[in-house]
């Protein structure tokens, strides 16, 4: 074991490790850190030297760190260590093989071609005093005689000793090499290797956002919440009284003698029927279209907004997730396990717009907000290769030239384009869909191909190479009507996932480029919201960071779609509060 942090960096340097070279790492609090170079050289330190060792290697050698999952990134960030580049095995597995599950045992078995059915399961805690497991192999070795990873190792036993840390890092290095070989063999997806590096960098960004949190003004947030639900209740009785008053504001518009539970969709539907409003369901968008038909509908929509704040984004939400340092924290992930969009817990991804007034820069800082304009139709133009649609992206508002091409108004053109991507073929804008087919046949064919693949349960891959599993038809188990309905739903999902997934890839490339370029300006991304970035930076850097965000968008777009046929735009502003941004 190398006991000095400087000795670790020196040993790796002597082994020829330089900028961008892979260095596998395994870190465990209380044990230390193990690093493995491409030559197979393994070095390690005790716990006290672990963080400093990684920092020295990062500062002096700038390698590409290889680890099993974002848990390692989170541990390093928690220790005060931030690195530039990595290869995240779990993130790459989700990209190449689809879905969410990417535990070490599954990743290992998949790359080894071993059966996933009946993966070995842990039986109790690892026993470090036993040298033989009941499968006939040594418990001190991570791989069983049948080729599977030993479940006690995969479940955390790898962190039990310095020797195990080294072995776990060696396995990470081997798995990364196998992943890279698999990607290299997939010649039909030439962007996959670059996407894997971006996915890994996105997990680094997620670890940092989870640690940094979103700056929130507690007083302002509480004032906004109070405006919806009243002052913070001191007792459950007060909370019940507040709920009763909110309910009464809706029910006063109901026929006399009505007694309905507004928290029951079925009863709300019955209540609406009593006032002559017949709806197939009580979704907000459906009620919004009928807001003016009866005062109760308007009151119900207002009630829903207040109820959502009270139950999900109220005082309890602040108490649980807002730290004493004024930062709202949730756990971020670089992929939702479906089309690959970033996601977060603690309501960070679906915070009501009314609460944005509470998101405020700290003293001496500003927020720089950038919102991609019409990202999905622009992405469709790029991934489909439709030159006519690409020409429409030259304008800031690409729906205007599309409307002229279709000879319809802008609103109808927008609904038609979005409907084509989401599989909506009826309703407003449907009549323009036939004109879309004639005006932009290449883009429409791209969507139709994805639709057909989804309907027949053929897996898809996005522009960047992410696998989109489409599931099984199971047509023999259901009626023809149900089978057709499910197939149509898969088709709609397929056409949308191909666009949404590609848009997520471009967005993440943009975000990680901002992360890298903005570090020198102390500009930190604090929120990634589908097509919107929120960056926190010192006030003196605000305008520079605003220009940087656009520069990074153009750089990312050129790397992602090198022919430059599609123009990507963003609305960028420097703010004190998120609510100051124009929608």
Give pLDDT, residue 115. 92
Instruction: Note whether 401 and 468 are within 8 A (CB).
Output: no
| Angle, helices 399-406/410-422, rounded to nearest 10 degrees | 100
> Given 3.90.700.10, 3.30.70.370, 3.40.1280.10, 3.30.70.1380, which CATH number is that of 329-373+506-580?
3.30.70.370
Instruction: Give CA–CA dist 209/435, Å, rounded.
Output: 44
Rounded Cα distance between 155 and 157, Å, is 6
pLDDT of residue 473: 62
Beta bridge partners of 535: 368, 525
- Reference 77, options 539, 524, 545; nearest CA is 524
Count helices and strands in the chain by DSSP H and E runs = 22, 15
CB 347 within 8 A of CB 317: yes
Is the pTM higher than 0.85? yes
Domain ranges of the chain: 5-185, 218-318, 329-373+506-580, 376-503
CATH superfamily for domain 376-503: 5' to 3' exonuclease, C-terminal subdomain (1.10.150.20)
Within 8 A by CB and 6+ apart from 153, the residues are 104, 126, 142, 164, 168
- Please report how the helices 236-251 and 295-311 are oriented relative to each other, as an axis angle in degrees rounded to 10: 160
Identify the CATH assignment for 218-318 out of 1.10.1740.10, 3.40.50.1360, 1.20.1060.10, 3.40.190.10.
1.20.1060.10
Is 244 exposed, middle or buried (CB count within 10 Å of its CB: 0-12, 13-18, 19+)? Answer: exposed
Which of 548, 552, 523 shows the shortest CA–CA distance to 205? Answer: 523
329-373+506-580 has the same fold as 5-185: no
First to last CA, the chain: 57
d(Cα 216, Cα 276) in Å, to the nearest integer? 43
Pairs from 387-396 (Cβ < 8 Å, separation ≥ 24):
387/442, 387/565, 388/439, 388/440, 388/442, 389/440, 389/442, 389/443, 390/565, 390/566, 393/566, 393/567, 393/568, 394/567, 396/569
Question: Residues with Cβ < 8 Å from 119, sequence gap 6 or more?
Answer: 105, 106, 109, 148, 151
Topology classification of domain 5-185: Nucleotidyltransferase; domain 5 (3.30.420)
Q: From first to last of its 583 residues, what are the pLDDT tens digits of the chain?
A: 555 666 899 999 999 999 999 999 999 999 999 999 999 999 999 998 999 999 999 999 999 999 999 999 999 999 999 999 999 999 999 999 999 999 999 999 999 999 998 788 755 444 444 444 556 677 889 999 999 999 999 999 999 999 999 999 999 999 999 999 999 999 999 999 999 999 999 999 999 999 999 999 999 999 999 999 999 999 999 999 999 999 999 999 999 888 899 999 999 999 999 999 999 989 888 899 899 999 999 999 999 999 999 999 999 999 999 999 999 999 999 999 888 999 999 999 999 999 999 999 999 999 999 999 999 999 999 999 999 999 999 999 999 999 999 999 999 999 899 999 988 766 665 677 888 999 999 999 999 999 999 999 999 999 999 999 998 766 566 788 888 889 999 999 999 999 999 999 999 999 999 999 999 999 999 999 989 999 999 999 999 999 999 999 999 999 999 889 999 999 999 999 999 998 6
Phi/psi-derived region of residue 230, left when phi > 0, alpha when psi is between -120 and 50, beta in every other case: left
Three-state DSSP state, 291? helix
Largest CA distance in the chain: 85
Q: How far is CA 504 from the centre of its chain?
A: 8
Quote the CA–CA distance of 349 and 270 in Å, as a whole number.
32
Q: Are strands 365-372 and 460-461 parallel, antiparallel or unpaired?
A: unpaired
DSSP per-residue string spanning 126-184: --TT-SB-TTSSBTTSSB-TTSSBPHHHHTTGGGSSHHHHHHHHHHHHHHHHHHHHHHH
Helix (H) or strand (E) holding 529: strand 524-529
Output the pLDDT for position 425: 66
Q: What is the C-alpha separation between 89 and 110, in angstroms, rounded?
A: 12
* Cα(538)–Cα(29) distance, integer angstroms: 33
What value does the CA radius of gyration of the chain take, rounded to a whole number of Å?
27
Q: Supply the pLDDT for residue 132.
A: 44
């Amino acid at each position: 074991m190398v006991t000095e942090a400087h000795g670790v960096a020196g040993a790796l340097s002597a082994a020829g490790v330089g900028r961008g070279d892979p260095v596998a790492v395994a870190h465990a609090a209380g044990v230390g850190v193990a690093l493995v170079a491409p030559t197979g050289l393994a070095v390690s330190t005790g716990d006290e030297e672990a963080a400093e060792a990684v920092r020295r290697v990062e500062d002096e050698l700038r390698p590409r760190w290889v680890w099993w999952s974002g848990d390692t990134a989170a541990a390093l960030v928690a220790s005060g260590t931030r690195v530039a580049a990595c290869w995240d095995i779990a993130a790459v597995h989700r990209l190449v093989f689809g879905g969410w599950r990417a535990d070490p045992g599954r990743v290992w078995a998949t790359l080894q071609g071993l059966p996933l059915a009946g993966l070995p399961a842990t039986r109790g805690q690892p026993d470090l005093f036993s040298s033989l497991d009941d499968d006939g192999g040594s418990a001190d070795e991570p791989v069983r005689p049948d080729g599977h990873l030993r479940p006690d190792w995969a479940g955390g036993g790898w962190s039990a000793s310095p020797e195990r840390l080294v072995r776990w890092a060696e396995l990470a290095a081997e798995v990364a090499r196998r992943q890279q070989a698999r990607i290299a063999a997939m010649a039909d997806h030439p962007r996959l290797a670059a996407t894997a590096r971006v996915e890994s960098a996105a997990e680094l960004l997620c670890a940092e956002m989870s640690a940094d949190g979103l700056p929130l003004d507690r007083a302002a947030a509480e004032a906004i919440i109070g405006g919806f639900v009243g002052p913070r209740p001191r007792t459950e009785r007060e909370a019940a009284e507040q709920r009763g008053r909110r309910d009464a504001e809706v029910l006063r518009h109901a026929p006399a003698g009505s007694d309905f539970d507004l928290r029951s969709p079925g009863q709300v539907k019955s209540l609406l029927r009593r006032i002559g409003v017949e709806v197939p369901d009580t979704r907000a968008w459906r009620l919004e279209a009928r807001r003016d038909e009866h005062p109760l509908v308007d009151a119900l929509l207002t009630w829903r907004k207040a109820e959502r704040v009270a139950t999900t984004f109220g005082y309890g939400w602040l108490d649980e997730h807002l730290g004493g340092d004024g930062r709202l924290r949730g756990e971020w992930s670089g992929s939702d396990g479906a089309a690959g969009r970033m996601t977060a817990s603690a309501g960070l991804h679906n915070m009501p717009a009314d609460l944005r007034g509470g998101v405020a820069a700290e003293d001496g800082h500003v927020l720089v907000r950038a919102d991609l304009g019409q990202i999905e139709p622009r992405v469709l133009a790029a991934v489909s290769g439709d030159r006519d649609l690409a020409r429409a992206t030259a304008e800031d508002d690409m729906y205007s030239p599309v409307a002229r091409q279709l000879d319809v108004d802008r609103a109808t053109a927008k609904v038609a384009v979005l409907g084509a991507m989401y599989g909506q073929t009826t309703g407003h804008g449907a009549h323009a869909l036939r004109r879309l087919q004639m005006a932009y046949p290449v883009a429409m064919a791209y969507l139709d191909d994805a639709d057909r693949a989804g309907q027949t349960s053929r897996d898809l891959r996005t522009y960047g190479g992410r696998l989109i599993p489409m599931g099984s038809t199971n047509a023999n188990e259901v009626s023809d009507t149900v089978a057709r309905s499910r197939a149509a739903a898969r088709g709609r999902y397929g056409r949308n996932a191909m666009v949404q997934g590609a848009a997520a890839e471009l967005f993440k490339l943009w975000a990680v480029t901002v992360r890298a370029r903005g570090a020198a300006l102390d500009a930190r991304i604090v929120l990634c919201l589908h097509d919107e970035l929120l960056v926190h930076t010192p006030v003196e850097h605000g305008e520079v960071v605003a220009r940087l965000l656009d520069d990074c968008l153009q750089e990312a777009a050129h790397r992602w779609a090198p022919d430059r046929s599609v123009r990507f735009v963003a609305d960028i502003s420097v703010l004190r509060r998120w609510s100051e941004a124009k929608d």
